[in-house]
A = this chain, B = another copy of it.
């Protein structure tokens, strides 16, 4: 029992210190390990397997919309990065520079890609000639590097894994349509698979991507009331096309500039899964993303028939679920703690009495509800339990978000809420960047997005009192 206690006690409680709870969970659930390289993390099997499932799901959804995968170089020559003015200003301060190859200094420095717009543009200028070559719908899965001073596992690290989609279109309308389409792919994936509800909207000019005409975002609310930007989709218009001279001949044989988009989701989203669903026993993974969906824990496994029955059950369930048996020499209590720490959505307990009664006990990770089921119908029951759990996790996350979404009609209310009520604050905005800056400086809250679903919560800007143009979601963010 001492050992069991140790595992649970190893993590700080959420209410006591959320940041410490987070750090404890990523370490104790063996998602990551810190590396010898400052700011770079190691994704261990439990963590990487979640990313593999995210990749599989997203990749399928991308391909269904016609996207094809490519791989671009890791390095960007300095001169290429400088081709688009806003873009280089946004990224140059935070890139890693390669200056030597082998024993020799390079003639031109290369940066390790912080994002690959410039490389894609350079390629598109070579391979796009005619309207027949359009659209180009390319994506790549890779790692990128941004020289961050302070880092946190998944949320902010010097190197992280992501996908970056880059498309080129004949018309402005088609590019805008693709930008929104991919935002919806992200939002649907997060809701359906990760059980995380998203606010979809547009970033203000201040918050948009370096070089974009407009940036769309999906924003989630974490358990502690902070917001997390979970995926972005950018419409570049023809800005990059002008900078990189990407032109095509249209059907009338006239030269036209292409319109471009890019969109990305990263391992950051794993931080969201942890902070939306986790509890004081560790991780809670939605069944649809969990690398292991079922852990079978034999009770009194030394008793005759128990282990064999557990293996038999595993082989049966393996046809429809990702399932393992914990047949180690640890105690059942210790095994429960480990399964809970790792967030495995369901546990099946099976012991000598269950064998006699031809039954087993399913235990839900989120509610800890125990469901006794006959072994004859365990596949069906388990599928139902997982399905219910998936739906209820989404509903709980939505209820939590809604209960932590406030609205403010004036600046006093706004400041009061931001200071005392962790969550989203809906408030009107005049559209002036000065107000956005003032709010950030005085309250540390930032504009998360101008949601597609607009509401009229007041007539005037929450900051300056001038006539309002838009409702904005504000919040403190990761």
Which residues of A are interface residues toward B (Cβ below 8 A)? 33, 35-37, 40-45, 48-49, 51-52, 68-77, 80, 93-103, 110, 112, 119, 122-123, 126-127, 138, 142-143, 145, 147, 159, 161
Whether A74 and B119, one on each chain, are in contact in the complex, defined by CB atoms closer than 8 angstroms, is: no
Residues of chain B contacted by A126 (CB below 8 angstroms): 33
Q: How far is the CA of A74 from the CA of B112 in the complex (A)?
A: 10
Q: How far is the CB of A429 from chain B (nearest CB, A)?
A: 32
Q: How far is the CB of A84 from chain B (nearest CB, A)?
A: 14
Q: How far is the CB of A237 from chain B (nearest CB, A)?
A: 23
Q: A42-B123, A99-B100, A102-B94 are in contact. Are A49 and B71 (CB under 8 A)?
A: no
The 7 closest A-B pairs by CB, nearest first: A40-B73, A45-B68, A43-B71, A97-B100, A101-B147, A102-B147, A37-B73
Residues of chain B contacted by A52 (CB below 8 angstroms): 69
Q: How far is the CB of A325 from chain B (nearest CB, A)?
A: 15
Whether B93 and A101, one on each chain, are in contact in the complex, defined by CB atoms closer than 8 angstroms, is: no
Q: How far is the CA of A77 from the CA of B37 in the complex (A)?
A: 7
Whether B100 and A96, one on each chain, are in contact in the complex, defined by CB atoms closer than 8 angstroms, is: yes
Residues of chain B contacted by A74 (CB below 8 angstroms): 40, 74, 112, 143, 145, 159
Q: How many copies does the complex hold?
A: 2
Residues of chain B contacted by A99 (CB below 8 angstroms): 97-100
Q: How far is the CA of A75 from the CA of B112 in the complex (A)?
A: 11
Q: How far is the CA of A44 from the CA of B51 in the complex (A)?
A: 24
17 extra interface residue pairs, beta carbon distance < 8 Å, beyond A37-B75, A71-B161, A74-B159: A33-B126, A36-B119, A36-B122, A40-B73, A42-B70, A43-B71, A44-B70, A45-B68, A48-B71, A73-B159, A74-B112, A74-B143, A94-B102, A95-B102, A96-B100, A97-B100, A99-B100
Q: A35-B123, A112-B112, A119-B35 are in contact. Are A70 and B96 (CB under 8 A)?
A: no
Q: How far is the CA of A100 from the CA of B43 in the complex (A)?
A: 25
Residues of chain B contacted by A43 (CB below 8 angstroms): 70-71
Q: How far is the CA of A36 from the CA of B121 in the complex (A)?
A: 11
Q: How far is the CA of A75 from the CA of B38 in the complex (A)?
A: 10
Residue of B nearest to A45 (CB): B68
Cβ contacts A to B, 20 pairs, < 8 Å:
A33-B126, A35-B72, A35-B123, A36-B80, A37-B75, A42-B70, A44-B70, A45-B68, A45-B69, A49-B69, A52-B69, A73-B159, A74-B112, A74-B143, A75-B96, A93-B102, A93-B103, A96-B110, A98-B112, A102-B147
Q: How far is the CB of A55 from chain B (nearest CB, A)?
A: 10
Whether A72 and B42, one on each chain, are in contact in the complex, defined by CB atoms closer than 8 angstroms, is: yes
Q: How far is the CB of A292 from chain B (nearest CB, A)?
A: 12
Q: How far is the CA of A100 from the CA of B119 in the complex (A)?
A: 21
Residue of B nearest to A136 (CB): B45
Q: How far is the CA of A181 from the CA of B213 in the complex (A)?
A: 54
Whether B75 and A159, one on each chain, are in contact in the complex, defined by CB atoms closer than 8 angstroms, is: yes
Whether B98 and A70, one on each chain, are in contact in the complex, defined by CB atoms closer than 8 angstroms, is: no
